[in-house]
Amino acid sequence: MANVSQPVITTDINTDFSKIVELVLIENKQVLEKINYSSVIQLGQAIMNAQRIFVAGEGRSGLVTRMFAMRLMHLGRQVYVVGETITPAIQQGDLLIDFSGSGSTEHVLEIACKAKEIGAYIASVTTQIDSPLAKIADFLIHIEAAAKQDHSHQHSQQFSGSLFEQSSLLIFDALFHFLSHTINKSSETLWALHANLE
């Protein structure tokens, strides 16, 4: 196998890397400050009212959905990740939360449309307020970050949908924290539901 030379980092790592970290923090702060917190709290109320909650997303957005689903489990909510083998049929009155930066991810849109036809409530998390997912949503969380294929650097200096995925995780971790305090769930109570077969 031929030896392939690798690029050598010759920059001032501490100085330059700290600037990148600062950039990521600043961009997330700017995005989070623009989010309509009332819409987030409305979704939080819907989460607490729902008999069952389903979450859907693809790629890195899908990883965020799974992290949020785990936190909903800690709150004692009945939550399922769409596509898992143990996920049951969605029913009228259930809540589907979908994550898609573009708001038009084909598989996620198909899931949302089918859930809507069945009579489930739809919550869409997206950067695009005029997207198909936004238009069918009962609850809309608009995150003003760059969509995955937006390489203009107008909304973010980071690659692809990184800022959307980061800020989605942060706002939904904040929502979890808010809900856990609102319903007076102590850390001990939350931890009692954590997986113990690890």
CATH of the domain at 176: 3.40.50.10490
Record the pTM: 0.88
Task: Please give the tally of structural domains in the chain.
Answer: 1
Domain membership flag for residue 151: yes
Q: What is the mean pLDDT of the chain?
A: 91
Report yes or no: 82 and 55 within 8 Å, Cβ to Cβ. yes
Domain membership flag for residue 1: no
Strand 79-81 relative to strand 53-57, pairing: parallel
Domain membership flag for residue 19: yes
CA pair distance 113, 133, nearest whole angstrom = 8
Which runs of E-coded beta strand occur in the chain? 53-57, 79-81, 95-99, 121-126, 139-142
Instruction: List pLDDT tens digits, range 41-57.
Output: 999 999 999 999 999 99
Give catalytic residues, as residue numbers. Answer: 165
Domain membership flag for residue 68: yes
Domain membership flag for residue 8: no
Which phi and psi angles does 116 have, rounded to 5°?
Answer: -65, -45
Domain membership flag for residue 166: yes
Domain membership flag for residue 177: yes
Domain membership flag for residue 184: yes
> In the chain, what is the straight-line distance between the N-terminal and C-terminal CA atoms, in Å?
40
**Percentage with pLDDT > 90 across the chain:** 74
Total residue length of the chain? 198
Report yes or no: 61 and 168 within 8 Å, Cβ to Cβ. yes
CA pair distance 42, 125, nearest whole angstrom = 13
> Domain containing 77: what range?
15-191
